[in-house]
Amino acid sequence: MDGKVQLQKQLFDYTASLFQEGFLDNQFNQLEQLQDESNPDFVVEVVTLFFDDAERILNELTTSLGQEKIDFKRLDAHVHQLKGSSSSIGAQRVHEACIPFRNFCTEQNVEGCLKSLQQVKHEYSLVKSKLETLFKMEEELLASSLADLKVV
Amino acid sequence: MELGLDNSKLQLQPQNLKQEQKLLQQQEQHFHVLAVDDSVIDRKLLERLFRGSSCKVTCVDSGDKALKYLGLNNIDEQLDNNFSSTKSILESSSPDSPPLTPNPLQLKEGISKVNLIMTDYCMPGMSGYDLLKRVKGSYWKDVPVVIMSSENVPSRISMCLEEGAEEFLLKPLQLSDLQKLQPYFLKSLDNSSDEQESANSSTSTTDFDDDDLIDNNNSISKRKAMSPESLEISRPKMKGLARGIKSSCILLISLIMIMFLIMVFS
């Protein structure tokens, strides 16, 4: 039982830190509220969709910026997509990193775009690893709860 | 005697409420939302939000697919055909003109009636605004259309509301936004109850309309972006207001007639 309580506390503290450090915002709370008995894996499902979508977009952005003639309109459209999807799951830092990126696209500033892409990639990899850690902790807690039930 | 009457009134009220709740549940279960968004994440979110309210949800990823679903995808071809045939008809000076909107019977079988269209504004290809225009100029013109956007652009909002959008919501959508859409669930209930019930129940439907108006007025809140021409926001509400006034007038006229009859017969 102590192990479970400790896990609960760890999970609580970790989640709180993600909000405090700005990795997650209120929209993530909204996702958690939408998770219930009928939709027990809703958060993981949506976040997984985000990971797949974000990686696809980041690859496209890398390819686009590597070309001789850069299509800034197309670039901006992709950044807009990423900005939207990160906002929808509450990945605040990724969302914020997309804002200057869009400005550089409008200005057709290649160097600015390249720097922004690096920043977005950095924020994305951070939030991805944080969320994966969070989900792992939740799994451990669930496993511990099930183990308790079996003992009883 | 008075007490007896009051008791019977009190007994009727909870029954009416239960009936209304039951109808609302039944209506919500059949309430069909067409969600249009190019983002897979946002489609998932919309689906969860509406399915959680016992609504049926159909998701499509583009305006073109939405038109196809509504049976409007061949409208351009139809228009071309209609214009050429209209032209030839005019030349032969015939009074008849072919219809420009698809006949409901021509709609694909198996498509259940759509009660609400939720569409993203910014989409590749056809935008939410273009979709709105097409819908409002078609057989589906009375279906409420709600536009969603991640960008708070007042001119964009005014433009959509003027074109007939019922609401303009900022993304990402939240549970509280769903509450704002409750009046549309009730309106569709209102329409079905008008068909089924007699004039005696018009009091309850009038109350719904009045509450809807109050809710709609209060819902112009922080989450819904404020536009400088905020008066324009009230324009689409005029339809609901007119309906409310119409019901109130009917009630007033019936009351006056009843009083007149009482006076005549007393």
- Read off the pLDDT of residues B22-51 as tens digits, 9 standing for 90 and up: 665 555 557 899 999 999 999 999 999 998
B-chain residue closest to A41, CA distance? B48
Q: How far apart are CA A92 and CA A49, in angstroms?
A: 17
| pLDDT band (50, 70, 90) for residue A149 | confident
Pull the structure tokens for residue A121: 């990639």
Lowest mean pLDDT among A77-81, B56-60, B98-102, B137-141: B98-102
B 137-196 residues with CB < 8 A to A = 150, 171-172, 174-175
* Among B40, B46, B48, the residue to mutate for chain A (most A Cβ within 10 A): B48
Residue B215: the pLDDT is 39
Residue B232: the pLDDT is 44
Cβ pair A27:B172 closer than 8 A: yes
Alpha helices in chain A (DSSP H): 2-20, 26-33, 42-66, 72-89, 92-107, 110-151
| pLDDT band (50, 70, 90) for residue B151 | very high
Residue with tokens 């001789």: A68
Residue B204, pLDDT > 90, answer: no
* Domain A43-137 in this protein, CATH class: mainly alpha
Q: Which of B48, B150, B175 sits opposite A39 (nearest CB)?
A: B48
Q: pLDDT per residue over B166-183, tens digit each?
A: 999 999 999 899 888 888
Q: pLDDT per residue over A49-75, tens digit each?
A: 999 999 999 999 999 999 999 999 999
Q: How far apart are CA A95 and CA A16, in angstroms?
A: 19
Residue B150, pLDDT > 70, answer: yes
Contacts of A84 (CB under 8 A, 6+ apart): B39, B42, B150, B171
Specify the pairing of strand B32-36 against strand B116-120: parallel
Residue A146: the pLDDT is 87
Residue B191, pLDDT > 90, answer: no
Residue B209: the pLDDT is 40
What's the gap in Å between the CA of A53 and the closest CA on chain B? 8
Of A114 and B85, which is predicted with more confidence?
A: A114
Cβ pair B41:A77 closer than 8 A: no
Tell me the pTM.
0.69
For chain A, the domains span 43-137
Residue B96, pLDDT > 80, answer: no
* Mean pLDDT on A11-34: 96
Residue B129: the pLDDT is 97
B41: contact with A, CB 8 A cutoff: yes
What's the gap in Å between the CA of B170 and the closest CA on chain A? 11
Of A46 and B178, which is predicted with more confidence?
A: A46
Of B177 and B228, which is predicted with more confidence?
A: B177
**C-alpha B207 chain-centroid distance:** 18
